[in-house]
Structure 1
Amino acid sequence: MTLAAAPLPVHDAAVIGAGPSGLTAAILLARRGLKTVLIAPAINATDGRTTALLQASVALLDEIGVWPALAPKAAALAHMRLIDDTGRLIRAPEITFDASELKLEAFGYNVLNRELNVVLEQAALAEPGLTWVKERVQAVEPAEDRVTIRLETGDTVTARLAVGADGRQSRVRAAAGIEVRQWSYPQHALVLNLEHDRPHQSISTEFHTPTGPFTLVPLPGRMSSLVCVVSPETAQHLLSYTDEALALELERRAHSILGRFRLASSRQVFPLSGMIAHQVAARRCALVGEAAHVFPPIGAQGLNLGLRDVADLGSILQAALARGDDIGSPQTLARYEAARKVDISTRTTAVDLLNRSLLSDLLPVQAARSLGLYAAGRIGPLRRLLMREGITPMAGRPKIFAGLAR
């Protein structure tokens, strides 16, 4: 008697995690022809934080059909202003980057996370090629020809590939045996939204202070989101303020450039840290977003980097499917690893160096930062190169974003 071969997995890809990266990945893979299952209990519909979606991310969201619903809820970032407020001996000149210099209406658009999550949820529920299993994952078990995902209900889901979009404590990453490098900073970020008397005129302003950036990013109307990076002690001190006292203190730190402030959301404080996975793919598992990399909220790079992961993964899996290749094979995963390696490492390093340069009292470090910003303000080709790289780096740029390279 011969034993029957085990049946192949029902799904091509199982995406675990329903943050913006996971939802986008699930929708994109389904649209690229893969039988896809999304496994996550629910979205976060109460997150008051915001995300600045740069043009490359907007292009991806437009491809999966969600940008038209998001656009009315977003504020354009047409100008990016950097102000050295360190008070140190060597200070950089103020510089403003203008999207029109790249023939763009805006570098990107700022949107509330809860608005982004809700629109993505609606698109995921309406996507015919996508199944959403609203359960928690208990275990991820990679094998030679499939990945088995065990749910807390006792049920199982099998797929040829597991996509880990399950955050910095990723079960998928752990199951794949992928190790990480982690580090922390002596900083906390105070995050909230503000109403203000003066219009922001689509200008995102980042003050560089001795404790880190103080960033005001436009929201629709006379509102902006704030990320204020300070010492842990100062963060706790600011949390103790009344709303009126905190608004006045934040207005002082912003030098009243937007007039009087009023708090428009609750306050949140997060310790700043960094993490980078040694690999983004192994054992029929691929990582996207914060399962693969985490760094401080500087320069609107976090989710945008994660969406570039998603775009690359979608292109590589679609090509593998068209060739009849195994989408979870070592060869397919090696292509994804190669596509993401340079982008992730260079972007993580750049954000880390910029953040540490603000904390350094060393004159050579201050001089180098100041000289770099001075050159960017005076040398047009360099300024335009920096703007293009800020939107999407040339290294490892996904094909969907190729038009933004020009």
Structure 2
Amino acid sequence: MDNPARLPILRGMEYDSDIVIVGGGLNGPALALALAGSGHSVTVIDALSTGARQTDDFDGRAYALALASVRLLDNIGIWSRVADRSQPMLEIKVSDGRAGEGPSPFFLHFDHAEIEEGPMGHMLEDRYLRRAFLEAMDGAPLVTQVNDIVVAQAASTQGATVTLVSGKTVSGRVLIGSDGRASGTATRAGIKRTGWGYGQTALVAAIEHELPHNGIAHQFFMPPGPLAILPLPGNVSSIVWSETDETAAQFATLSDEEFMAVLRPRFGDFLGQISLRGKRFTYPLGLTVANSFIADRLVLIGDAAHGMHPIAGQGLNAGLRDVGALAQVIDEATHRGEDIGAADVLARYQQWRRFDTATLAMATDLTNRLFSNDNPLLRAARDLGMGALNTMPGLRRKFIREAAGLTGDLPALMRG
């Protein structure tokens, strides 16, 4: 029986835009601006109103933008809008231990001075990045923004059409799903997902501290899950604290004072006195990868294609690699005179991104499983491994370049 959410599409269709993007969070607008910059018309559809997406409230989210991602944002005209709100990450320190006992003497230390390109990346709050995208799209003549909900989609040999809850339709040569892990675009196309939950929840907040962080990011692995302490401008850091679902649910109900009382033994005193800044938020953690990144006239990017553990801070960076790769595939196909929505064109994007994404997802999964336990043999092995790696400059430099997003087959927009 046909899926009622899939509608017939007429031959000889006229397009509202070259490309239709469902999802106006971060990856969708980034792709829209990249494509518009090379002359393509784009419609971006998002269920939230522009006002709701422009809010200045801090929702706990901040991103560790790798150097390669910063380059892409610069190339599409975004970085100049947010650079003064960002914090360079000059060092990364990775350690292992238990709450209240401090870190193991064996640790990893990555210093940006070991590579020539500059800081490994920058920290930036979601609210500033989101607003910059909205403002940039407002000023882009080839980008049309629509606030509505997609309820159906269809594809033919000529193009794709989506139907909105308002009854309107929007058509394009290719449809892009950038609508998150529960992507309706993927579901309506019949694309299934592979993944699992970790039994962990991330507690996210901003913390003010007495001493300067000096641009150093910390990743402290504890048996229930890691605590990331990520530098923001001023004496402020963002924390992403992974705990078991049960414990996180208990901590989420605590008062701010009680929450800080359980955080302090884990956070330590290396930044002096600490206090909560703003609200706290929780996000369940899991791994989910679409079984295919493409379908007829359809492509998935960002979390719609892959969602992974935040342990290495690579979620948005992976999405922006999708953006750079897809923009390049479409641009090259256009210059060759090809149909940008043809199956062989979209297959180039999938071939480019799928293996890299699967490798990254498995690496984050393995790292989380290796470190999120209290097995004494595994603890000894990983501590000795970190200590040994820290004494190998060549290998350490490779890890630094990986963290900066400078390895692999980089899209042109990320190549400096």
What TM-score does the superposition give when structure 1 sets the normalisation length?
0.93
Question: Does the CA-based 8 Å contact 1:340-1:396 persist in structure 2?
Answer: no
Question: Does the CA-based 8 Å contact 1:56-1:392 persist in structure 2?
Answer: yes
Instruction: Specify the alignment match of 1:72 in structure 2.
Output: 84
Q: 1:6 is matched with which residue: 12, 16, 37?
A: 12
Alignment CA distance shift 1:171-1:237 (3 Å): closer
Report the AA paired with residue 259 of structure 1: G
Q: CA deviation at 1:247?
A: 2.1
Q: CA deviation at 1:239?
A: 2.1
Q: CA deviation at 1:92?
A: 7.0
Alignment map for 1:18-167 (pairs within 5 Å):
18-40=24-46, 41-42=48-49, 44=53, 45=55, 46=57, 47-86=59-98, 93-167=106-180
Report the AA paired with residue 299 of structure 1: A
Q: CA deviation at 1:352?
A: 0.3
Q: CA deviation at 1:394?
A: 2.9
Alignment CA distance shift 1:91-1:251 (3 Å): closer
Q: 2:401 is matched with which residue: 350, 374, 388?
A: 388
Which has the higher mean CA deviation after the structures are superposed, 132-141 or 370-379?
370-379
Alignment map for 1:3-402 (pairs within 5 Å):
6-40=12-46, 41-42=48-49, 44=53, 45=55, 46=57, 47-86=59-98, 93-362=106-375, 365-392=378-405, 394-402=407-415
Q: Secondary structure at the match of 2:82?
A: helix
Distance in 2 separating the partners of 1:390 and 1:350: 13
Which has the higher mean CA deviation after the structures are superposed, 245-254 or 125-134?
245-254
Report the AA paired with residue 341 of structure 1: R
Q: 1:14-56 CA deviation, whole Å, 9 max, x = no partner? A: 0110111111111111112212111114353343311111111
Instruction: Specify the alignment match of 2:5 in structure 1.
Output: none
Report the AA paired with residue 17 of structure 1: G
**Structure 2 residue runs without a partner (length 5+):** 1-9
Question: Does the CA-based 8 Å contact 1:192-1:267 persist in structure 2?
Answer: yes
Deviation >4 Å, runs of 4+: 361-364
Q: 1:151-199 CA deviation, whole Å, 9 max, x = no partner? A: 1110101101011100111121123222110201121111011111111
Question: Does the CA-based 8 Å contact 1:140-1:171 persist in structure 2?
Answer: no
Distance in 2 separating the partners of 1:398 and 1:140: 29
**Structure 1 residue runs without a partner (length 5+):** none
Report the AA paired with residue 39 of structure 2: G
Q: 1:243-280 CA deviation, whole Å, 9 max, x = no partner? A: 22322332221111111111112111122111011111
Question: Does the CA-based 8 Å contact 2:68-2:406 persist in structure 1?
Answer: no
Distance in 1 separating the partners of 2:105 and 2:370: 12
Report the AA paired with residue 142 of structure 1: A
Q: Secondary structure at the match of 1:131?
A: strand
Which has the higher mean CA deviation after the structures are superposed, 185-194 or 364-373?
364-373
Report the AA paired with residue 271 of structure 2: L
Q: CA deviation at 1:393?
A: 6.0
Question: Does the CA-based 8 Å contact 1:251-1:260 persist in structure 2?
Answer: no
Question: Does the CA-based 8 Å contact 2:16-2:172 persist in structure 1?
Answer: yes
Q: CA deviation at 1:368?
A: 4.3
Question: Does the CA-based 8 Å contact 1:191-1:267 persist in structure 2?
Answer: yes
Distance in 1 separating the partners of 2:366 and 2:153: 35
Q: Paired residues, what number?
A: 399
Report the AA paired with residue 196 of structure 1: H
Report the AA paired with residue 16 of structure 1: V
Report the AA paired with residue 285 of structure 1: L
Q: Secondary structure at the match of 1:263?
A: strand
Q: Secondary structure at the match of 1:187?
A: strand
Report the AA paired with residue 71 of structure 1: A
